[in-house]
Amino acid sequence: MQSFGRRPRFSVSKPMSSEATLQITSMADIFTIILVFLLKSFTSSTLNVTPSPGMELPQSIGGSPPVDALMVEISETGVLIDNELVSELKAFRFKGKDLDGNGLPRDLESTFTRQRKRQQLIAKSNPDVQPDSKILVMADRRVPYLTLKSVISTAALHGYHDLKLVVVKQE
């Protein structure tokens, strides 16, 4: 009889082992790759620039990497300097009672004065450190120029005239 080399249709299969072992070597390889990638992206950004919840930063194609400087955040409800609420805003605008005769916010002035004095004290004790003119401005895209103008002119009065405007990079 001609044989076609087929397996018999009703062959008795081997009994399956109840002890199944999971091959985790490939999983370990995948995890190693993910871990290396995450660690690399984690260490490459030493500066922590995280916008507040609800803040919409303007988007841009260009932009250089962030630098370490005094951080000023302008959101819908307030102005924060180094993550500390300095002056409250109402719908992105300063309240009338918070402004002085020149239209500059009082609380902001006192905070910039304090920050500048702190930098000068550090510079006094350490000659390698110089008072910095850089300031990181992280403002919501809807902030009117009036508010922005008040903040940056107050900063400029205290020597912070080198503006670094924070944007979200578009892909």
Q: In angstroms, rounded to a whole number, what is the distance separating the alpha carbons of residues 137 and 150?
A: 13
Cα–Cα distance for residue pair 3/8, rounded to 1 Å: 11
SS3 136: strand
Of all helices (H) and strands (E), which one includes residue 120?
Answer: helix 106-125
Interface with other proteins (CB under 8 A), residue from 1, 24, 125, 128: 24
Determine, following the binding rule CB under 8 A, whether residue 131 of this chain makes contact with other proteins. Answer: no
**55 in contact with other proteins (CB under 8 A):** no
Give the number of other CB atoms < 10 A from CB of residue 55.
Answer: 17
State which of residues 65, 96, 101, 127 lies at the interface with other proteins (CB under 8 A). Answer: 65
Q: Is 4 left (phi over 0), alpha (psi -120 to 50) or beta?
A: alpha
Q: Which of 3, 18, 25, 126 binds other proteins (CB under 8 A)?
A: 25
**Binding segment (CB under 8 A) for other proteins, from list 5-13, 75-83, 122-130, 154-162:** 154-162
The correct pick among 11, 17, 44, 50 for binding other proteins (CB under 8 A) is 50
Amino acid at the residue 20: A
- Structure-derived torsion over alpha carbons of residues 56, 104, 68, 127, reported in degrees to the nearest 10: 180
> Which residues from 29-48 bind other proteins, rule CB under 8 A?
31-32, 34-35, 38-39, 41-42, 45
Residue ranges binding other proteins (CB under 8 A)? 24-25, 27-28, 31-32, 34-35, 38-39, 41-42, 45, 49-51, 58, 60-67, 133, 136, 139-146, 148-149, 152-153, 155-156, 161-169, 171
